[in-house]
């Protein structure tokens, strides 16, 4: 009877989209969010993101599920930035970092469709608007780009503090790709002792469509996440995230094949699938009680956005899972805490949905005798310590099982992403 149920369960999912339930979003103020970054302060999570007017906008949550709006960093456009871009009405793509007792918020502005752009800085000693000391003090411009003079584009800032405590700022959108500059730790502005603009990522053969860098440090590596493709087109967005790594903050950042991201390399980390269209412009919150969180926007196909465009920009959060060879993998969208289970091989037996490379899912059947089947392939599987291995003969899939045993994610031997969800 169990075998019949498993077969029936697998038959049901044969026509379902990949990870059909992996579109969870929180409640409250999670819509109309672009370009989010996230930081933790006093046991609360704060998200800063692109605003429609003024900005950047601020959201807060105690549990990563229920979000409230806290208004904006600025309710008006600062005069100095209006001098650079007279028609400016909103600040874009913020990032927040903390060092030496202060929070440093970097934001950008641009003349749309050009590289007439800038990155500014504001500082605060607290993130809680209810604190009497709460006040964002603007420090002015950090860097700018000028059409016809500079080839880069000064938007989408991200701050990384290296292993020696030195802050750096990556930035860039289209044009000459992703860049990096050194910052002065005392002021948060650009350092005077190193005026080099380092090159990190570029697409030489097409459209230069790389932007929104985010660098984190884990173990011996720095990891550069960047978004590729078209943003801001609702369900027509082709945004996706790639990653490379380096032992130096200034690069070179290489993918799993050893290709430099400056030469078009990058390991695919996350791309769209139903119902998550155009995921991108991510931030990362590292080591939150042992969990690394990815925060990004996507376009929800169930909601109208504007004009005749479907796909409202929406906040989504998911854990980052790390492979044995220390590459990041996208966990399932976060829907609340789960109870960790002491999983055994018997817990793996059953019917799963499996998606390869973010395509439609098909049935994966793990049998108690250690055999498995997927589409026309027959193989063998093993499980030990939250690692599931599927041996298909010509190739092998190695996956990290979630602590509740309900999903897993990993690579095959070519570092193509495999995502599974337990169905019974």
Considering the entire predicted model, what is its pTM?
Answer: 0.94
Whole-number Å distance between alpha carbons of 256 and 18 = 25
Ordered per-residue pLDDT tens for the chain, 424 residues: 444 444 444 444 433 333 345 788 999 999 999 999 999 999 999 999 997 788 899 999 999 999 999 999 998 999 999 999 999 999 999 999 999 999 999 999 999 889 999 999 999 999 999 999 999 999 999 999 999 999 999 999 999 999 999 999 999 999 999 999 999 999 999 999 999 999 999 998 766 899 999 999 999 999 999 999 999 999 999 999 999 999 999 999 999 999 999 999 999 999 999 999 999 999 999 998 899 999 999 999 999 999 889 999 999 999 999 999 999 999 999 999 888 889 999 999 999 999 999 998 999 999 999 999 999 999 999 999 999 999 999 999 999 999 999 999 999 989 999 999 999 7
Q: Which residues form the catalytic set?
A: 35, 211
Of 153, 162, 214, 217, which Cα lies nearest the Cα of 191?
A: 162
Residue 394: CATH number of its domain:
2.40.128.10
**CB contact set of 56 (below 8 Å; sequence gap of 6+):** 48, 49, 50, 72, 73, 74, 91, 92, 94, 105, 107
Q: How far, in Å, CA of 168 to CA of 291, rounded?
A: 24
* Domain shared by 204 and 252, yes or no: yes
* The pLDDT value given to residue 55: 86
Among the listed residues 100, 254, 245, 96, the one whose alpha carbon sits nearest the alpha carbon of residue 166: 100
Residue 21: per-residue pLDDT:
52
Specify the CATH number for the domain of residue 148: 2.115.10.20
How far, in Å, CA of 315 to CA of 27, rounded? Answer: 10
Mark whether 42 and 178 lie in a shared domain. yes
What b/e sequence results for 230-260 when a residue is b if at least 16 CB atoms lie within 10 Å of its CB, and e otherwise? ebbbbbebebbbbbbbbeebbbbbbbbeebb
- 301 and 367, same structural domain? no
Are 318 and 398 members of one domain? Answer: no
Phi, psi dihedral angles at 122 (to 5 degrees): -130, 150
Q: Do 12 and 41 belong together in one domain?
A: no
Residues 371 and 305 in one domain: no
Structure tokens at 189: 């502005």
Within-domain flag for 22: no
Query: Which of 266, 300, 330 delimits the end of a domain?
Result: 330
Residue with tokens 């989504």: 316
Question: Is residue 277, in this structure, part of any structural domain at all?
Answer: yes
Q: For residue 380, what are its two tokens?
A: 């063998």
- How far apart, in whole angstroms, are the C-alpha atoms of residue 46 and residue 295? 11
Cβ count within 10 A of residue 422: 19
Q: 31 with 106, same domain?
A: yes
d(CA 99, CA 188): 10
The whole-number pLDDT of residue 20 equals 43
Rounded to an integer, what distance in angstroms lies between the CA atom of residue 5 and that of residue 424? 9
Inside any domain, residue 92? yes
Distance CA 378, CA 397 (A): 13
- The helix/strand/coil state of 204 is coil
pLDDT score recorded for residue 204? 86
CB 55 within 8 A of CB 88: no
DSSP character string of 261-319:
GGGT--EEEEE-BTTBEEEEEEEEEEEETTEEEEEEEEEEEEEEEETTEEEEEEEEEEE
Provide the domain count of the chain: 2
Distance CA 13, CA 365 (A): 12
User: pLDDT value at position 207?
Assistant: 65
Residues with Cβ within 8 Å of 296's Cβ and at least 6 positions away in sequence, in order, are 36, 241, 270, 279, 280, 281, 282, 283, 316
Query: Which domain covers residue 393, as residue numbers?
Result: 2-17+338-422
């Amino acid at each position: 009877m169990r075998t019949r149920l498993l077969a029936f369960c697998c038959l049901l999912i044969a026509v379902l989209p990949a990870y059909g339930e992996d579109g969870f979003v929180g409640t409250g103020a999670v819509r109309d969010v672009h370009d989010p970054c996230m930081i933790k302060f006093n046991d609360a999570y704060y998200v800063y993101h692109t605003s429609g007017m003024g900005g950047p906008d601020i959201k807060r949550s105690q549990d990563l599920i229920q979000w409230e709006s806290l208004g904006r960093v600025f309710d008006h456009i600062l005069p100095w930035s209006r001098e650079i871009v007279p028609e400016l009405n909103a600040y874009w793509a913020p990032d927040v970092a903390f060092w030496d007792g202060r929070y440093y918020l970097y934001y950008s502005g641009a003349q749309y469709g050009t590289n007439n752009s800038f990155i500014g800085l504001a500082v605060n000693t607290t993130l809680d608007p209810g604190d009497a000391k709460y006040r964002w003090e603007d420090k002015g411009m950090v860097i700018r780009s000028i059409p016809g003079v500079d080839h880069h584009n000064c938007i989408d800032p991200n701050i990384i503090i290296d292993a020696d405590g030195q802050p750096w700022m990556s930035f860039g959108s289209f044009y000459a790709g992703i860049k990096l500059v050194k910052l002065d730790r005392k002021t948060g502005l650009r350092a005077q002792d190193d005026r080099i603009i380092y090159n990190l990522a570029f697409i030489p053969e097409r459209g230069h469509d790389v932007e929104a860098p985010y660098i984190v440090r884990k173990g011996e590596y720095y990891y550069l996440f960047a978004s590729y493709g078209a943003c801001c087109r609702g369900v027509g967005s082709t945004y996706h995230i790639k990653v490379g790594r380096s032992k130096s903050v200034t690069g070179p950042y290489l993918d799993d094949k050893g290709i430099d991201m400056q030469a078009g390399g990058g390991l695919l980390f996350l791309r769209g699938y139903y119902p998550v269209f155009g995921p991108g412009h991510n931030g990362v919150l590292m080591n939150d009680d042992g969990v690394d969180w990815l925060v990004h926007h996507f376009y929800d196909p169930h909601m109208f956005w504007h004009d005749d465009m479907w796909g409202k920009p929406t906040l989504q959060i998911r854990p980052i899972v790390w492979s044995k060879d220390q590459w990041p993998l996208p966990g399932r969208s976060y829907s609340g805490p789960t109870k960790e289970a002491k999983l055994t091989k018997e817990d793996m037996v059953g019917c799963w949905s499996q998606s390869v490379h973010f395509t439609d899912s098909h049935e994966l059947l793990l049998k108690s005798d250690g055999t498995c089947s997927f589409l026309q392939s027959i193989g063998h599987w093993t499980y030990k310590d939250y690692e599931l291995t599927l041996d298909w003969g010509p190739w092998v899939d190695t996956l990290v099982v979630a602590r509740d045993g309900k999903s897993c994610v990993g690579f095959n031997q070519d570092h193509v992403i495999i995502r599974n969800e337990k169905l019974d």
